[in-house]
Amino acid sequence: MPTEGAPILEILRRELNEYFLGQRADFTVPLSLSGPPFFLRVWEELRRIPYGERITYGELASSMGRPGAARAVGQALARNPLPILIPCHRVVGKHGLGGFGPGLHWKKRLLELEQTYREKFSPR
């Protein structure tokens, strides 16, 4: 939970540091996003993917009631303004990692990080 009066960048710095140390699975930093309605919906759905989980572009499209929209989902992910906070790294291709704006090496590292700490954040 954000500390009242704390500058948003300080909250973000702290929460990202905790994430990379395996101490945080979710972010509380308030987000104010703008974009096409479909993109906003995709980004909202991304925030519902549990820590350490992976789904395909097609599965994400289907979960939104748009089973033929895997490519459109990919376009929304490519324009994600806040990777990690909006965890597009958790969406993978049907036959591989797929893409990731900051680079596939980062996507792989983020997935490995979350796999390492997944049990810690799994509901019991």
CATH topology of domain 33-121: Arc Repressor Mutant, subunit A (1.10.10)
Is residue 68 among the annotated active site residues?
no
pLDDT of residue 124: 58
Q: Which of 42, 76, 77, 88 is catalytic?
A: 88
pLDDT of residue 5: 59
Instruction: Give the C-alpha separation, 96 to 56, whole Å.
Output: 9
What parts of the chain have a pLDDT lower than 50?
none
* Residues contacting 12, CB < 8 A, separation 6+: 29
Instruction: Give the C-alpha separation, 80 to 106, whole Å.
Output: 15
Q: What are phi and psi of 113, to 5 degrees?
A: -60, -50
> What value does the mean pLDDT of the chain take?
91
pLDDT of residue 17: 97
Contact of 83 with 89, CB cutoff 8 Å? yes
Residue 27's SS3 state is coil
pLDDT of residue 89: 95
Domain ranges in the chain? 1-30, 33-121
